[in-house]
Amino acid sequence: MTKAQQLLPLLQQLPLVMRELGLWQQDAPSTEELSSNEPFSVDTLKPEQWLQWVFLPKMRALVEQKMPLPTGFSISPYFEESWKSCPEYAPVLSLLVSIDEVCR
């Protein structure tokens, strides 16, 4: 199984779990907020906004266009730290750990 084949179900599950937890937003952030140069757009977006509006679209596009996937990254530590007082977000964190593992 290719990395893309492993990654696609995780990318499909992430929005579902985020919706269940009330982390999914109907309205996109402004163009200015999405234009941040900071890692995870920490200066303009909440962690869940970055996942929904930056990470997911970019990763889906790579998979759908059969482009090379990024490797050697780890996003779960940022979310573990950001949500350390939100144990109810564990299902999202679990998916992010799995995404990290596929992209190693």
Tell me the CATH number at 43. Answer: 1.20.1440.40
Q: Taking the mean position of all CA atoms in its chain, how far away is CA 44?
A: 16
The helix/strand/coil state of 97 is helix
End-to-end CA distance of the chain: 15
Average pLDDT over residues 60-77: 92
Work out the mean pLDDT of the chain and round it to a whole number. 95
9 lies in which domain range?
3-25+34-102
Q: What is the pLDDT of residues 8-50, one digit of tens each?
A: 999 999 999 999 999 999 999 999 999 999 999 999 999 999 9
pLDDT-derived band at 77, boundaries 50, 70, 90: very high
Cα-based torsion angle of the residue sequence 38, 40, 43, 47 in order, rounded to the nearest 10 degrees: 180
Residue 1 has pLDDT above 90, yes or no: no
Domain count, the chain: 1
The model carries a pTM of: 0.92
State how far the Cα of 56 lies from the Cα of 23, in Å rounded to an integer.
14
SS3 at position 88: helix
